[in-house]
Amino acid sequence: MRPFSAILPFRATLVLTSLMVASSCGLSTNARNPFDGSLRQQQEDRLRIQIQNMNFNDITIFAVSAGQRIRLGSVTGKTDGNFRLDWNYANPISFEIDVVGGRGCDTPPIAVDPGARIWVQIPNEVGAGQCRSGRA
């Protein structure tokens, strides 16, 4: 018969090993199937929006279409930002730019396709220059 002190480390190792195996087998409720193509397709169908803020001030940018206004986020002055957005591709998209401590501007509407990349450029001086957007 083995002494009690020799059995205890063996049991602890056995329990720890079985927990590691169970967690790696996908018993978690948050596990995703790597072979499910719908998640990948969902990510590819989203609009990719690249913001180039040439202004010194921070901006807040909104996507606008058909009476709907969606806040994308903020972009610090003199930096670039990237956003992804689910979109109804039947409607054209335009952008409303709110410059912190300054004037804002809007871009003209543009038609988009699923998975499209869109760029938005905020000039150094809003008002003197026009905010622009387009498809990449």
- Whether 5 is in a domain gets the answer no
- Whether 22 is in a domain gets the answer no
Instruction: Answer yes or no: are the C-beta atoms of 109 and 91 closer than 8 Å.
Output: no
Q: What is the pLDDT of residues 72-122, one digit of tens each?
A: 999 999 999 999 998 888 899 999 999 998 889 999 999 998 888 999 999
Q: What is the pLDDT of residues 39-51, one digit of tens each?
A: 555 556 789 999 9
Q: What is the CATH number of the domain that holds 84?
A: 2.60.40.2890
What is the domain extent for residue 83?
A: 41-135
- Whether 126 is in a domain gets the answer yes
- Whether 30 is in a domain gets the answer no
Phi, psi of 17 (to 5 degrees): -65, -45
Q: What ranges make up the beta strands (E) of 19-85?
A: 47-53, 59-65, 68-75, 80-85
- Whether 65 is in a domain gets the answer yes
Q: What is the pTM of this model?
A: 0.68
Q: What is the pLDDT of residues 24-40, one digit of tens each?
A: 555 445 566 655 666 55
- Whether 36 is in a domain gets the answer no
- Whether 3 is in a domain gets the answer no
- Whether 91 is in a domain gets the answer yes
Beta-strand relationship, 105-106 and 68-75: unpaired
Number of domains making up the chain: 1
